[in-house]
Chains A and B, each alone.
Chain A
Amino acid sequence: DGGITQSPKYLFRKEGQNVTLSCEQNLNHDAMYWYRQDPGQGLRLIYYSQIVNDFQKGDIAEGYSVSREKKESFPLTVTSAQKNPTAFYLCASSVTSSSNQPQHFGDGTRLSIL
């Protein structure tokens, strides 16, 4: 089945540690996105990539980094500079970044601090 796979489902981070969240899609989509979801809030955009080897900061990029070396993969690193990393992280993709293209979401990674 085509879709978006996020791993791991649950992740724990120690103080001062960087962690990387995986996102893989087999939909042949050009655009990929990372969102952060906190209770009672909508999703907020961290980073997005419209095409391979290119990415842009979203609304809350501080303390995060990404890479887009392959079309199907868009890993997110939560660095130690992100002081409040506990959240539900969602990866999405779309055919292109055009406004009428809906985004398809993975099942998320829940990150907690030890």
Chain B
Amino acid sequence: AQSVTQLDSHVSVSEGTPVLLRCNYSSSYSPSLFWYVQHPNKGLQLLLKYTSAATLVKGINGFEAEFKKSETSFHLTKPSAHMSDAAEYFCVVVGGATNKLIFGTGTLLAVQP
């Protein structure tokens, strides 16, 4: 069965410093993986997706993620945090024959001035 674990429920960084949000997945075959961002009282916006092409995936707003099969990880990074990046981030794996999305529990990113 597919599953996803977000290793940190809260991350706090200073504006202008790097961001690292960690995600590990479990899948019995080559997975499709996504990162979504959610601002308060809003829906989810797709940041980037991995679907077995390049292992380094570039997304919107300067975010990128690297698929590492040996480590079963798909960590999200950004070189320099901006105040507008403060939000909740969800790592998602596509599950099995039904292609249902399986969500992590989310990481709340705070950006300090």
A interface residue numbers (CB < 8 A to B):
4, 6, 33, 40-45, 48, 58, 88, 90, 92, 97-100, 102-108, 110
Contact = CB atoms under 8 A, between A and B. Distances in A.
B46 interface: yes
Contacts of A44: 103
B72 interface: no
B90 A43 contact: yes
Interface stretch (B36-44, B60-68, B78-86): B36-44
26 contacts: A6-B43, A33-B101, A41-B105, A41-B106, A42-B90, A42-B102, A42-B103, A42-B106, A43-B101, A43-B103, A44-B103, A45-B100, A45-B101, A58-B100, A92-B44, A98-B99, A99-B51, A99-B94, A102-B49, A104-B46, A105-B44, A105-B45, A107-B41, A107-B42, A108-B41, A108-B42
B-side interface mostly:
strand
A100 B30 CA distance: 11
B43 A108 contact: yes
B88 to A, nearest CB: 10
Contacts of B105: 40-42
B32 interface: yes
A106 B43 contact: yes
